[in-house]
Amino acid sequence: MKNILKVTAGSVLMIFSSLPANAQFSLTGELIPRTEYRHGYQAPLDSLVKGSVATGQRSRLNFGYKSDKFKAKVSFQDVRVWGSTATANTTDGFTSLHEGWGQYFFTPKFSLKAGRQELSYDDERLFGGLNWTFQGRSHDLFLFAFEDTSLKLNVHAGIGYNQAAMTNSAASYTLSNYKEMYYLWANKKFGNLSASLLAVITGVEIPNALNSSYLMNTIGTHIEYKKDALFGSLRFYSQSGETVMGGKRADVNAYMAGADLKYTIAKKFTVGAGMEMMSGQSQTDTTKAYKEVQHTFNALYGTGHKFNGYMDYYFAGSGHGNVGLQDIYLNLKYKADKYWVALDVHMFAATAEIFDPVKSAQTGTIESMDANLGNEIDFTFNYAFTKQCAVQCGYSTYLHTASVAYLKGVLDWEGKGYTGNQAGWGYVMLVLKPEFIK
């Protein structure tokens, strides 16, 4: 053991001694165990189903390097549920590469970044690191970046083309992922105003047509205004092009719009309100022209848990019939030196009509359900012992309606949405971020 330690220490010293004098090396970690109580999380529970309690954990080791013209990062992670492997387990299939990229600066303002990397833009509505989930999200791509602090202008262009394996001939891409992606993001700051433009082309492989894709276009803007205690934001995105729907080609015609307003009192108490609307697919419009078009907005690769309630009923969890979503919300937050506490209330509704099979059978005509999808209340508390150690806990409850239960496939004996079980979700989470070398 002493010989192993000597060899390891000697290797580390050799690595550091070989680095340029102006180079910076960092080695940090991240340990996040989270115990969750789930009773109606993501969907209502049937009367005969019990809730669950489990602990998941993410462990990351991040290596960073920075010199005058080059930066690099390698991040390994292990994601598991406590008890998913035996205590004497000899094999481990949970470890993966979360990030592995290098970035070369041709000039101080222009660079190329290549490899597996997180993408996080604006409020993370369409591109985010998905940090709440244990696995997170990262992309394999080339990223060209122009960043000028004097002009307060940032422009990023990304290109990604995916294959499932190295093959000698064309093969189908069967992963639940885009086959190809091209995007342009530009952000300009004007005093207290920040405006971004995002244009994304994503391609899904055409069934039975190798190396050919249906391309969907997403374009829109995100605008923020911040002055003293006031914060406001607007966002709008539209989608067009082609995609696969029900195994067939479909045109795309969808949109998303949102607005937020927050005001902080005495630098501690923040009151906020907002609204977000995403288009959906009507279940009652049976015309051929309508059914051959996808009207449901695709939120792409954002951090969904952050927006439409922490119980993840929409877009971050199980589906809800593609009927779109309207979310009106109220935010309250109090922040002290070492802790903060927050309360969020959401009022959900469908933006497209929901088919009612019970009423339709009774009347002999196509009938729709109430668009009201219920309310969610989220309570969160966070306490930071140090910058490297914090504890967070929360509890959420969802007040169901028959409409949301029906969309989630939880029915009573009459075929109506079952709302008899109370929905609750709670968690306790430790956030440990050691800095081994910084």
In angstroms, rounded to a whole number, what is the distance separating the alpha carbons of residues 321 and 357?
A: 14
**How far from 92 is each of 84, 88, 95, 204, 341, CA to CA, in Å?**
11, 11, 7, 32, 38
Cβ atoms of 37 and 427 closer than 8 Å: yes
Assessment of whether the complete model's pTM goes beyond 0.85: yes
- Cα distances from 416 to residues 184, 357, 410, 420, in angstroms, run 46, 9, 8, 12
Spatial neighbors of 228 by CB under 8 A, at least 6 apart, are: none
Q: Is the dihedral of CA 348, 352, 358, 360 positive or negative?
A: positive
Q: Which residue stretches of 249-400 are H helix?
A: 288-291, 357-363
Residue 158 contacts residue 182 (beta carbons within 8 Å): yes
* Angle, vertex CA 180, rays to CA 179 and CA 186, nearest 5: 145
Cα 327 to Cα 123, 251, 302, 309, 351, distances in angstroms: 17, 26, 17, 9, 10
Regions of the chain with pLDDT less than 70: 1-21, 89-93, 317
d(CA 20, CA 26): 14
The SS3 of residue 178 is: coil
**Token digits for 216?**
């969907």
The most distant pair of C-alpha atoms in the chain lies apart, rounded to whole Å, by 83
Q: Find the radius of gyration of the CA atoms of the chain.
A: 24
Q: What is the number of other CB atoms lying within 10 angstroms of the CB of residue 436?
A: 11
Q: List, as one string, the DSSP characters of 377-392.
A: EEEEEEEEEETTEEEE
Helix/strand/coil for 290:
helix
Nearest by Cα to 350 from 378, 391, 376, 320: 320
pLDDT at 21: 60
